[in-house]
Structure 1
Amino acid sequence: MADFLRKIDHKLFTRCYMATTNKYKAFIFDMNGTLIDDMKYHTDAWYEILTKELGSDLSYENLKAEMYGKNAELLVRVFGEDYFQPEEIEQHSVNKEKQYQKIYKPHLEAISGLQDFLSKAEKNNIAMGIGSAAIMFNVDFVLDNLDLRRYFASLISADEVERSKPDPETFLKGAEALGVKPEECLVFEDAPKGVEAARNAGMDAVVLTTMHGKEEFAALDNIKFFIKDYEDPQLDQLI
């Protein structure tokens, strides 16, 4: 009986300790690969356009390494600075997003456990926002089709920033919009560039291993832990 009571006391102490020492007042979520496991569909859409329409010989594996930042930046990385006129870049970007939504919509679903996790965070008065390199066209597509919009008090997309991740602008604007200090924010990300952006903003991060392995984040020291989905018990310490 004494051992049992000690275990109970320890559990209560742990819960109380975590409740009083949790420094995070806000969660900022990347979207692609973080709320939804869709990066394969983005890569497929780009690969179709880059190779079949635009004549690139970029391999699928090499393309995966370029899957960060704004669409215009990806096109410049692949083809060079002056290959396309601005209006051509805009058209290719729009075509890619339409292709992505077409092939992904039948598979659109939230990462396992996300709804429950967002609900718990909301009940614990944790402010939440989106900080994504996606354009608002895609943010709306995801939030409205999955009925997630109500959880997020701020939406920072590629349309609201001048500099893409790993620049911290996306997350710093998110913190400002939520009314919290950068160090009070915890970022949820799936990509090394995104975690680097969080570090540059002075924020910790939780990493979802939807597209990148743990070894790809070895150089980053602001990671609290890695998770496969939002059913991971490690998340209990956050809310």
Structure 2
Amino acid sequence: MQILDFKPKAFIFDLNGTMINDMEYHTRAWHKIINEDLKENLSYELVKKEMYGKNHEVLERIFGKNRFTREEIQTLSIDKEKRYQEAYFSKLALIEGLDKFLETAKQHEILMAIGSAAISFNINFVIDGLKIRNYFDAIVSADDVRISKPHAETFLKSAEQLGVKPADCLVFEDAPKGVESALNAGMKCIVLTTTHDVKEFDGYLNILGFIDNFKNPILKTFL
């Protein structure tokens, strides 16, 4: 674990797999639609591998760009999110320790944002369901960017809305493509090991450490 003398002015959180441990439910929803509704025969692991970026990008990576109309993509996307929310609602909870971490960061006057590839429909489902909207000074969703992760736009726009330089931001992520997005934005990163193994992050020099929840002592060094 790499620990540096770094005091960020802002925290930027990915949402799914980072603030809540829900990526399995997203993957299940897509896997069911792809295999049962769209009659493909794709393994759970293959679908999991494609679980990054906007919903239309997931569909395009799997089926190609000309398979669906814009209206069909919109319908599939909303159907997927409804299935995800219905399955996950009873399990909705912050990753262990995040509630206290958010409160402590707020007390230290650290600015906070959510920078997620999720659509606003899902972000609102989480932050309003958990009643944590008051902690965040900015929220950037898939609806707010032209190019999703691993492009830097999501995190750069988050920093811009916070009024903080990218180099003064610390990103919390759970996926290699998200870490790559932070790297492209010139930001350091802490990785949540909720979704991917540590070995899947080899080569990313912006990672300061790996944690499995927000009770890890390394986080105190950033407050």
> What TM-score do the two structures reach when normalised by structure 2?
0.97
- Is it true that 1:225 corresponds to 2:209 in the alignment? yes
Matched, 1:49 2:18: no
Report Cα offsets for 1:170-210 as digits up to 9, x if no partner.
Answer: 00000000000000000000000000000000000000000
Match of 1:62 in 2: 46
TM-score, length of structure 1 as denominator length: 0.91
Cα distance in 1, alignment partners of residues 40 and 126 from structure 2:
29
Map 1:1-239 to 2 at 5 A: 22-239=6-223
Looking at structure 1, the residues matched to 43 and 127 of structure 2 have their Cα atoms a distance apart, in angstroms, of 31
Where structure 2 has 5 or more consecutive residues not aligned to the other structure, the ranges are none
RMSD after superposition: 0.9
Unaligned runs of 5+ in 1: 1-17
Secondary structure at the counterpart of residue 189 of structure 2: strand
Using the TM superposition, give the Cα deviation of residue 56 of structure 1 relative to its aligned residue in structure 2, in angstroms: 1.4
One-letter amino acid of the counterpart of residue 137, structure 2: A
Alpha-carbon distance between aligned partners in 2 of 1:183 and 1:158, rounded to the nearest angstrom: 23
- Equivalent pairs counted in the alignment come to 220
Q: Work out the CA distance in 2 between the residues paired with 1:58 and 1:156.
A: 31
Amino acid at match of 2:208: K
Task: Find the structure with the greater CA-based Rg.
Answer: 1
Q: Which is bigger in relative contact order (C-alpha 8 A, separation at least 6)?
A: 2
User: Contact conserved, 2:7 with 2:222, CA < 8 A, in 1?
Assistant: no
The structural deviation recorded for 1:97 is: 0.2
SS in 1 for 2:11: strand
Runs of 4+ that moved beyond 4 A: none
Q: Percent identity?
A: 55
